[in-house]
């Protein structure tokens, strides 16, 4: 997937400024696609040049004008064509797994501390997902179709974190047996 598809997807929900879009990438969209503010603004310029988005200048009192970006019909077509294509599994790049691969080089307590630190981050992410679920998806059956699709992506994240935490707990227990050796 290209950043352009993530941006078009985010703008499909509602037109917004580059700043607001970057905030979405810091929050909801950022849970499954990371991009810096600079990357987002560069990509918006390209999308505008390709006429996949339009930008409307909106005056702000005491501030420079801001641009509100909207997906064009050709932009929606590009997005629909991309959605219809099979996705490729993303290659895994995980520092923790590389560390575990050679974890025998350090005492088990060192690996345990590393895992516990990582575990805390995953617990925090799962808690954030649960808060989002309670706030925005309390009654999935009553939501509009677009929101139900967004809920599906949230559930993916929740399942991932739950599974990761189960694996982590299993690994921590295994490391305890290494400490006894």
* 76-85 burial: b if 16+ Cβ within 10 Å, else e: eebbeeeeee
CATH number of 3-84: 1.10.10.10
Task: Specify the 3-state DSSP secondary structure of 93.
Answer: coil
Please name every residue paired with 69 in a beta bridge, in sequence order, or none if there are none: 16, 55
Continuous segment of H or E residues that includes residue 36: none
Continuous segment of H or E residues that includes residue 54: strand 53-60
Q: What is the pLDDT of residues 103-127, one digit of tens each?
A: 999 999 999 999 999 999 999 999 9
Write down the pTM of the prediction.
0.79
Continuous segment of H or E residues that includes residue 81: helix 73-84
Q: What is the pLDDT of residues 3-54, one digit of tens each?
A: 899 999 989 988 999 889 888 877 777 777 888 889 999 999 999 999 999 9
Q: How many of the other CB atoms lie within 10 Å of CB of 108?
A: 18
């Amino acid at each position: 997937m290209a950043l352009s598809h993530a941006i078009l997807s985010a703008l499909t929900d509602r037109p917004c400024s580059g700043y607001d879009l970057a905030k979405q990438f810091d929050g909801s969209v950022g849970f499954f696609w990371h991009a810096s503010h600079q990357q987002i603004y560069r990509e918006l310029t390209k999308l505008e040049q390709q006429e996949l988005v339009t930008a409307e200048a909106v005056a702000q009192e005491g501030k420079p004008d801001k641009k509100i970006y909207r997906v064009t019909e050709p932009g929606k077509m590009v997005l629909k064509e991309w959605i219809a294509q099979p996705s490729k599994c993303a290659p895994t790049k995980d520092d923790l797994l590389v560390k575990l691969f050679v974890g025998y080089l350090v005492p088990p307590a060192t690996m345990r501390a590393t895992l516990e630190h990582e575990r805390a981050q995953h617990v925090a992410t799962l808690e954030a997902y649960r808060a989002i679920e309670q706030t925005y998806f309390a009654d999935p059956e009553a939501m509009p179709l677009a929101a139900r699709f967004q809920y599906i992506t949230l559930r993916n994240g929740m399942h991932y974190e739950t599974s990761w935490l189960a694996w982590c707990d299993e690994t921590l227990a295994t490391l305890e047996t290494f400490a006894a050796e």
